[in-house]
Structure 1
Amino acid sequence: MATYSAFSATDGTRLSYRVIGAGEPVLCIPGGPADSGYLGDLGGLSAHRRLIVLDLRGTGRSAVPQDVSTYRCDRLVDDVEALRVHLDLPRVDLLGHSAGTNTATQYAARYPERVSKLVLIGPSPRAVGLAVTAEMRRAVAQLRKGEPWFPAAFDALQAIAAGTGEDWEAVAPFFWGRWDAAARQHHAASRPSNSEAVARFAAEGAFTPEATRAALASCVAPVLLLTGEFDVNSPPAVAAEFATVFRHATLVVQPAAGHYPWLDDPDQFVAATTAFLGGHSHT
């Protein structure tokens, strides 16, 4: 069962976080920006580690900031650092998902001495200037051509890639290893609700790839990049390229998983993350 707490960011915005599980803490940064509830307990990872899950400003139980420019990705790094200070942790194991991996990566670049281990789930490589190409997405999508929903979803994906369409609902099945009732429910629950936070996340100045890459040279923390075999958002090819940016990186491609690997196969996901992070069961 999760417990909720709050703290003040450096600009005075009241931010919320939830704690679930026991053991050594892992600070978790959701993607979106969306309500962190979609992360759940990361497939049961909370049986092995204490998950401290931040509600990004303007999402979940966290307050909307007075200055909306603070929704920018690099500015969110300040909130992660404020949470670390609030928790009185000299160093942190840091986990990010999707867009949140950009914040986690920039945190590691800015505070390399504060990071013990870094876990990037469904990693987005924008912070280091790598692009996910239409060809990469197409190759991953083709792995699903036996699915009944494939023709319509693939047509929509092609249109998005060509700039002639934006039917994101139609391509949703590509983000899960199985497009079943659980995936549909999760999809509905994980939609971002704060359009301003989404719009400003990648505003001009949010990413400084050359500086981030240079700073990461000082980060000696081991890094796990875990993506799904079927993840059109974070294809294995770009995750492998992303891994080369770090000094000590491990790449795991979870079979038959999409962008939410802890939902597609919790056992495989937890086995991979605990093998990297360490931890033991408290159940």
Structure 2
Amino acid sequence: MPAFTDPDGTELAYHVLGEGEPLLCIPGGPMRASAYLGDLGGLSSHRRLIVLDLRGTGASGTPADPATYRCDRQVTDVEALRAHLGLERVDLLAHSAGGDLALLYAARYPRRVRTLTLVTARARALGVDFTEEHRREAAALRKAEPWFADANESYERIWAGSGTDADWDAVAPFFYGRWDTAAQAHAGSDVEQSNEEAAELYASPAAFDPTSARAVVAGWDARVLLLAGELDSGPLPRVADAIAELFRAAETVVLPGAGHFPWLDDPRRFAETVNAFLDQGH
């Protein structure tokens, strides 16, 4: 397993999948081991995926100071990986909560990023978050699904503050375009792959300075792709459009029938969409 050491002494692991131009990949969760990304729907057939296990997850070491789980503190991990790989500039892909880490990295090291691909990604770093109303709007699209009634009742308990672990399990189908065997297995690995202690610290409010970050990305010359799922609530396609407007050169692509993990719902279209975007810059 290839590894490198962050300046604070934490040993971090990464996985290399495929061949070709490198694409540095940041997982979400938050703080879920990168194994859940797989090979991103076959994207490894087009790119050499450099997939980071965030500190305290997967094969990476546990930091001496838990405060370094905060996503702004992990920016140095991404920069240390770039330097370790000997890359002057990187093509960066981030999923879900990993979007905040990628955006914070881009705001701190704008000249190090050639392209940024945000896959159903958060943008709290830019002052945009996803609300209960967004969840309800996306949930309403699934009313015809056989699991909807029970899952929606669990959503209501979660929003009311009385949700249990069983309720969180019950709402998992909302995050997938198809609640099939593959989706169920993928969802079932979430708990064992996630560092719950780290997840609670990851998005601490003090990690974000949206005004400063917006000022950087507004004048940024890097190309940005926001890839949204038609059925996803985080972000809704229209919210992804609003995030794109904060950049100088960004586009939004909505994958039909896809949820929060679009490389599972439509692997071919996902991989081709990302690869076509990256090819424009080479």
- TM-score for both structures, normalised by structure 1: 0.94
Aligned-partner residue type, residue 175 of structure 1: F
Q: Distance in 1 between matches of 2:277 and 2:97?
A: 21
In the other structure, the counterpart of 1:17 is: 14
Deviates more, 1:195-204 or 1:169-178: 195-204
2:71–2:100: 8 Å Cα contact kept in structure 1? yes
Give deviations 1:243-279, integer Å, cap 9, x for gaps.
1111111101100011000001101101110110129
* Equivalent residue letter for 2:153: D
* Residue in 2 that maps onto 1:116: 114
Query: What CA distance in whole angstroms lies between the structure 1 residues aligned with 2:9 and 2:120?
Result: 31
Within 1, Cα distance between the matches of 2:213 and 2:159? 27
| Structure 1: segments with no counterpart, 5+ residues | none
Task: Answer yes or no: is 1:152 the counterpart of 2:150.
Answer: yes
Q: What RMSD, in angstroms, separates the aligned Cα atoms of the two structures?
A: 1.3
Cα distance per residue 1:65-123 (max 9 Å; x no partner): 00111100101111000000000100000000000011011111111111110000011
Aligned residue for 2:42?
44
After superposition, residues 26-175 of structure 1 pair within 5 angstroms as 26-32=23-29, 33-166=31-164, 167-175=167-175
Q: Distance in 1 between matches of 2:33 and 2:76?
A: 19
Q: How many angstroms apart in 1 are the aligned matches of 2:234 and 2:160?
A: 16
Alignment identity in percent?
57
Distance 1:202 1:147 in 2: 32
Q: How many residues align?
A: 276
Aligned mates of 2:143, 2:176 — CA distance in 1: 14
Once the two structures are superposed, residues 201-221 of structure 1 have per-residue CA deviations (whole angstroms, 9 ceiling, x without a partner) of 012411111111112123210
1:24-45 CA-to-partner distances (Å, cap 9, x unmatched) read 0000000021110000000000
Deviation at 1:164, TM superposition (A): 4.0
Q: What are the ranges of 5 or more consecutive residues in structure 2 without an aligned counterpart?
A: none
Partner of 1:276: 277
Paired position in structure 2 for 1:199: 200
Greater shift in the superposed pair: 152-161 or 42-51: 152-161
Structure 1 position 265 matched with structure 2 position 262: no
Which sits farther off after the overlay, 262-271 or 182-191?
182-191
Asked if structure 2 preserves the Cα contact closer than 8 Å seen for 1:229 and 1:235, the reply is yes
Equivalent residues of 1:112, 1:218 under 8 A apart:
no
3-state secondary structure, aligned to 2:24: strand
* 2:4 partner SS: strand
Amino acid at match of 1:152: D
Q: Partners in 1 of 2:156 and 2:103 — Cα distance?
A: 30
Q: Is the 8 A contact 2:116 2:223 kept in 1?
A: yes
Within 2, Cα distance between the matches of 1:154 and 1:278? 41
Out of 3, 6, 21, the position equivalent to 2:3 is: 6
Query: 1:72–1:200: 8 Å Cα contact kept in structure 2?
Result: yes
Residues 45 and 270 of structure 1 are in contact (CA less than 8 Å); yes or no, is this contact kept in structure 2?
yes
Counterpart contact for 1:102–1:126, Cα < 8 Å? yes
Q: Which amino acid aligns with 1:123?
A: A
- Code of the residue aligned with 2:148 in structure 1: it is F
CA distance in 2, matches of 1:238, 1:79: 29
**What is the CA deviation profile of residues 178-209 of structure 1, one whole-angstrom value per residue up to 9, with x for unaligned ones?**
11110010112233432211111012411111
Query: Taking structure 1 as reference, are residues 162 and 243 closer, same or farther at Cα in structure 2, changes over 3 Å only?
Result: farther
| Matched residue SS, 2:118 | strand
Counterpart CA distance in 2 for 1:78 and 1:61 is 18
Given that 2:219 and 2:247 are in contact with CA atoms closer than 8 Å, whether structure 1 keeps it comes out as no
